[in-house]
Amino acid sequence: MVDVRVYGGPTALFEFGGLRFLTDPTFDEPGDYPLPRGSVLTKTAPSAITPAELGPVDVVLLSHDQHPDNLDDSGRELLSRVPLTLTTESGAGRLAGNARGLAPWASTELERPGGGTVTVTAVPALHGPEGSEPIVGEVVGFVLTGDGLPTVYVSGDNASLDRVKQIADRFGPIDTAILFAGAVRGDFVGNALLTLDSAQAAEAAVILGARHIVPVHYNSWAHFTEGRDRLEEAFSAAGLAGRVQWP
């Protein structure tokens, strides 16, 4: 089991193979954050930690850079101080410095402090219904593997169970699944889901054969329509309550 510390929204920290990984860094204060096309995202609660309190971070796993609920101003500043950011190919082109883009199914090997390597594989994610990429942008998830290490899946803002099945076919069963939930919907894509809802998060965990489940991306923002209560109900209904790691 990998110990995952969740700090609000999509931001979580975990150690794997002696390296410290941070997902989608968001540390700005509550308030309104504009998006293109005139819409606004409202952050309702502060992060449980500040960047200064994180300690050293070796790698940021950034599902996408386009939206402030996945990468905000404080998160962008943090990226300049982290040795490596892994993200989408298009995102790496927008971010300066240490960002490395990975296409789905592409891998990179990272040196472990005590010898050996950790392999990070970018995996498909879809931030909305099929065909929505030109509107919502490119998103990626990650799978982490290594000799003698459990397998970790970080979903990113994925709304597609078909993508989850593809990942399970290649890497399952998963030891620890960090699942972005919240049942976010978008008017600009016919009010379709942009992330997993609670029932889908439970179904994704079943598909992955996940031994441990860490829900993220379900609190701290007004557009997250399903919170912890709904997730607890869904995981309990699927017989998975004992596998869930809450903050």
User: In this predicted model, what pLDDT tens digit does every residue of 75-97 receive, in sequence order?
Assistant: 999 999 999 999 999 999 999 78
Residue 192, pLDDT above cutoff 90: no
Average pLDDT over residues 123-143: 85
Beta bridge partners of 13: 5, 22
Domains belonging to the chain, first-starting first, are 4-122+129-239 (3.60.15.10)
- Note the pLDDT of residue 58: 98
In the numeric block, which tokens belong to residue 152?
């970790």
C-alpha to C-alpha distance for 51 and 33, rounded to whole angstroms: 19
Residue 234, pLDDT above cutoff 70: yes
pTM assigned to the model: 0.96
C-alpha to C-alpha distance for 140 and 2, rounded to whole angstroms: 21
- Note the pLDDT of residue 162: 97
Helix (H) or strand (E) holding 198: helix 198-208
Average pLDDT over residues 165-178: 98
pLDDT band, residue 128 (cuts 50/70/90): confident
C-alpha to C-alpha distance for 42 and 69, rounded to whole angstroms: 9
Q: How many other CB atoms sit within 10 Å of the CB of residue 83? A: 13
Residue 187, pLDDT above cutoff 70: no
- Note the pLDDT of residue 188: 64
C-alpha to C-alpha distance for 65 and 217, rounded to whole angstroms: 15
Question: For 13-17, 35-39, 225-229, which range has the lowest pLDDT when averaged over its residues?
Answer: 35-39
C-alpha to C-alpha distance for 90 and 209, rounded to whole angstroms: 31
Residue 183, pLDDT above cutoff 70: yes
- Burial class for 228, CB neighbours closer than 10 Å (0-12, 13-18, 19+): middle
3-state class percentages of the chain: helix first, strand second, coil last, to nearest 5: 25, 30, 45
